[in-house]
Structure 1
Amino acid sequence: MKKRILAFLLAVSIAVSMLVLPASAAGNANTAVQLSITLNAMDSSQQAALNAVVTRGALARMLVSYSTYRESVGSQGTVGTLFTDLPGTSPYAPYVRIAVQNGWMNGYTDGSFRPDNAVTLEEAVTAILKLMGYKMTDLSGSFPNAQLNKASELGLRNQVDRSQGEVLNYEECALLFYNALTANAASGSAYGSSLGFTVSNGQVDTSSVMLKSLKGPFVAGDTVQLPFVPKMVYRNDKASESAELNKYDVYYYSESLQTLWVYTRRAAGRITAVSPSASAPTSVTVAGTSYTLGSSAVASQVSSLNGGGVGEVVTLLLGMNNEVAGIVTGEEADSVFYGVVQTATRSLVEENGADVLQKVSVMCTDGIARTVNVDKSLNFPQGWLVEIKVTPEGESVEHIEDRRVNGTINTNGTALGAAALADDVEILDTTSEGVAGTVRPSRLSGVTLSDLDVRYYTVNDAGQINRLILNDVTGDLWSYGVLDDVKNLAMNYSDLKSLVTSIAAGDSTSGTTTTTGTTTGTATGGTDGSGSTSDTTTVTGATAVDRLSNLLVPTTSEILWGIVSGDILSTAWQKLTSNTGSLMSIGFQQIAEITGTPFKQIFNYIGGGATYICYVNGAVASYTTAIKYPVLAGGIAVRQETTGSVKAMMQLMPLKIDKVGAASVLSGNERYEMADNVQVYLWYKGQYYPTKLAQVDADGYQLTGWYDNFGCAAGKKVRVIIAVKND
């Protein structure tokens, strides 16, 4: 107890060589592949074999898909033979015809095209440069050096690790085309801009182009016949294998992209407000949430001119961006939702005399927070599981008992144990305080869920799990950041001396106090044979200050540097922070109970609340608590009530990062997944500076990752990375 905590944690420094791979590499490759699929430059078989060699026929398809001709492929027809080895019936024929007519590619002198030949790096970049409007005669040098050098100058070869004469796979070719969109064409502007894309900061926004070919929204009836067989399907904005449409599903499609978007989201309840007017509404409020009406036809359904509006019980059929694409009334509007209570509030209403109105806000499995009026005499605690029923008569909220299931989510995120997950499964992670958030199935891939991890589930008519309410499984509901300072955890010497002096003066005119204590262990003085010593010590105010100063923790900077430098091992750190009883608040207060004045008052003062100054998502945040939590430095996790007050605070575990990938890091031979919203800070002389992972390379920085390790089944994610420059 006479040494600072840091002294107990010193160990031999571990020298770790660090090689950090740029996280943007894999990220851009994935983006490039997804864009190629969206533009129909690649099909599902090619997506499943990204390492396969790209052929000349496939290159022609990619060239056309990344051109202004991509929507006119269907008009080419299948008439005639273009080359001796490429009949008009070949799926590549229309693409080759367009590519050859525009001079991007050529056939051979023997009349063949050789569509199955592998494509080399120089052949691909030459075709792409022509696509971008460059004339080969204007390039410096001869083929292929002139083309390869120009491609490097424009950035086409960024992250494409291939040299002259080497063949390309589909992932590498997708990267070439993605880089072309952000590079300058012969006209001087970004090539992607000529195709209608928005290009900014090296990124391509495809939404504007996709919206031009988008048709919808449509509301599915009993039967639906699409004008094409979709190659890509998104259900509630997630990729899906099923193109099935059920009655009242909202759908959109793009025939040129051969893509279908399906939405099954609903908002049901009583309309409590319309805006801007009852006769010509553009939005309605249902269950406490306002929704935009997507068309004049939908608006007319809730217009007062047609007998609709405030007071009507409806089910809103929601499409993209939660716009209302359709409205169902009557018995067909019956709906049921499941979720967790976030707030329950009572307020005074004076419409028909003074009364109390209670509103309950529920976060439902579909990610929509619904507010329902309930009986003022009922209690709905935060964190309760409830069921909301909507019928023509109105809405009701009832508490439901837990319904548990266990098993492992498969790698595809399509099953929980032996039970299949519905294609449109809704998953909600919750805490007992009512904090909640939706979870995508892939987030739980490979995670084993116990009975305690699942609070409730429902199944559809096919016996598939279609709703799943979890119990703090992901750890994503906690707030994460870095600890910058702790106020009142440790007083400075002068403040402490004043406190001790004032306490001592109040208890004794001599300013001294006598304490008697017994310690068990190896004695250095006289013992009674039991390994104990008994002594009586007279302590002055100044002596108390000196002794107490040895109990105070080092600064957050001192501790953090010990972790970064390797002086504090992660095993010692875990032992220290895993037991709250050994830390400041509880430890001091326990000591206070067995000591006399002035020590009791001193320890109680130190063992009281604290204000934690942190950086969270790059911004300064402070948390004031009534007790102290076992957090000392670096990354921390904060669990909050729905009101924002702190429920718990935990120390994240540190690790030395040896390598950084697209979505994970390596520490030694162990891999740790990074959270999607991992925070990165540069630390210099006790100050945190929010930055990006791409800005801190391995050669110039030491990287320390901080991951959650407090029991969440799908946790153990690196939430924070702290970089220290080697200077």
Structure 2
Amino acid sequence: MKKRTWLSALLAVALLVSMLVVPSASAAGNSAFTDITDPDQANAAEMLRLLGVVNGTGGGAFRPQGTLTRSEFCKMTVEIMGRGDEEPAQRSRTIFTDVSSTHWARGYINLAASITVGGSSGGDGESATAGTRLIMGVGDGTFQPDRVITCGEAVTILMRVLGYGDGDVAGGLNWYDGYMGLAGSAGLLDKLNLTGASTISRGQAAILFYNLLFAKTKGSDSLYLTGLGCKVEDGGILLDVNATLAGSNTAVKTTTGTYKTDRAGLDENLEGMQGDVVLDKNDKLLAFQPKENITSRAVNVAEWAYNEARLTGGETLELPPQTTIYQDGEKKVYEELWQDLKPGTPVTFYYTAEGKVDYLFLRSASASDTAMVARSVPSGNPFTALTKGEGNYQIYKNGMPATVNDIRQYDVATYDSGAKVMNISDLRLTGMYENVYPNTDTPAKIWAMGKELPVLPCAVEDLRNFKIGDTLTLLLTSDGKVAGAVTTAAAKGNAVGYVKSIAEDGTAVVQLLDSVLGKVEGKTSYRGDSAEKMMGELVTVSSYKLGQITLTRLTGGSSSGVTGKLDVAARTLGGVALADNVAVYEKVGSSKLQPVKYSQITAVSVPASKILYAGKDYAGRYNVLVLDDVTGDLYTYGFMSKGTMTTPSSMGEIVNSTVIVTTSDKNGETKLELVGGVEVPRNAIGGVVASLNTLQDKNKIAGYVFLKELGGVHRSAFDMKAKTVTTTDMVLPISDSVVCYNKTTKQWFTAEDPMDALNQARAFSDNITIYYDRTPENGGKVRAVVVQ
């Protein structure tokens, strides 16, 4: 019979990008024994430690390469049978002449020699048969307790533990050959390449006993470990090997529950895998068993879209919006999360047997508490100490695959040993040292620009060089922890964001583009008209005075400084390459700056005049683009009409014009009303964008557009797979958020997916009118569809 193989690590997150893998039976594990380097032996020894079978040789050592004597093996066998408490009663007996009363293992040897397996008492006309003793001497009344045990001897004993006796095995050239053959079928020799005459090491013995636990006993489908009070249950998907649970120092969380454990730790590579949990008699977790033949793929995503993900390197993977995604130990739906996922995010895709995406698993984005700073201009890799000699790791900088040549002075690195990934960040924040906890000599967290930032141990010495009130530049990890601090002359901050609001007293709120830092706020010099002109603009942020921030505008000037056009297909701007994880933002006038996907740019090219800002990364690639009304996707489209609103003033009430757009979402009809004097033709279909500027808490209009009408389109003109409409003059892309209206019933077609609503419209009538904003080469798309 074939034993199910137990794993404690199967797949590193740092698999080669784009490589499909079908996990093979392998194991890797953490152990309380610090001298075991072989992952299979470490996992086996840890399991035996938890069951009380082994306790090492002292000082956290196991001596896996050391040999094992016959007496030591006897002790382990008695313990794994759960009969160790019977040993003291056997110490006074003499069975073997060379096992004296002073021998430390006398009780264990005598007990093992007294245990019989197999045999029967007769009955129903059958004669009684003798059983087989668990251990026997060497034939001369001796046992040779201190001789190194051979594999044939060890396997014979363990097969007898499973209930097999001499009558169950065939003969052979050697007395143990029958037991060796049977052991191979039972899975007892898995991961071992030994002959019967081979001596075995302590590490190899641990694997033998580990295999015993998951072998079936004679004549039964039950695993041996169930006889020890252990059990195997469906564990669902492993979410967190470092979970917390009341009343326990350590715990493991899966989709079926959170389990206490006394393990030294499960390998983080197990996270995301499906499998079973092995529980002891007290329901504490002993092991996690990944299921076999599960196909997974570890990748790095450069761009997330509603129904697909583009990988670094350009490959696109289909991703249904309702796909389950596990992040931070919680189950979520991709459709609700995709807009918040950052470019450069490492993720593992898990597939069904049919090859379809089953679920996604995102490893925790939290950086290690151990970090290093490149203090000088690097020559080679200054961060190798983080890996503790581990090789074959990948380097990522700001979420992008990188090399040693991409490391710069004052970069910060952390190392994920589970994924074998070195994460490098060049994120910096320049501001005033505002406060500290608990004190300046041992800072655990500090405040700058009103933000509370955790301090790593490697930054403590740097911060002692500054006092509260000083201006400094903080060197941050990818998850916003302070790894170092330098003067502003040595390095400047690079925090970039957009102005979200400015109050009457000049207090500005800036939403930083790096979501780790969130938003900052502080007093500025902007008031009235100057404040209104700053709304929505991209700025760099710094602080040189308590409670105040300095904003340096990157957009909104007479020129962005960009030369050349954006070649969308070639992914170049003025001949300079874009980074794979380029972050693209868009605004219309004074609207909110919003992230868009590069794939939303359907124009052939974008002129420099429509690019408000272009920022480069450490390698000279463009990694941030801010577009001026290029995709058309920021507008809310529908039927447009005029409205009014009144506002009080010292002269009485003032009537202000508004524009109302009647449209729909998945739940039905909605209305958006914005303040602005726009002449709206009767029955116009168009779109509007809200400004960050308001009047009486109602947003003003930042931009508007009237759509072009094209009637007489047949349902066959729609290619729903390519999401295009072919007319006599052009091929128009269909917007992912297209709205569809039934002129006959005067109702909107609604669905979770706008494409499903479009199919409802096509099914209703072949008399279709489409509305688009501009020509395809200029980025136009079908925004609305009306049928009758």
Higher relative contact order (CA 8 A, sep 6+): 1
Larger radius of gyration: 2
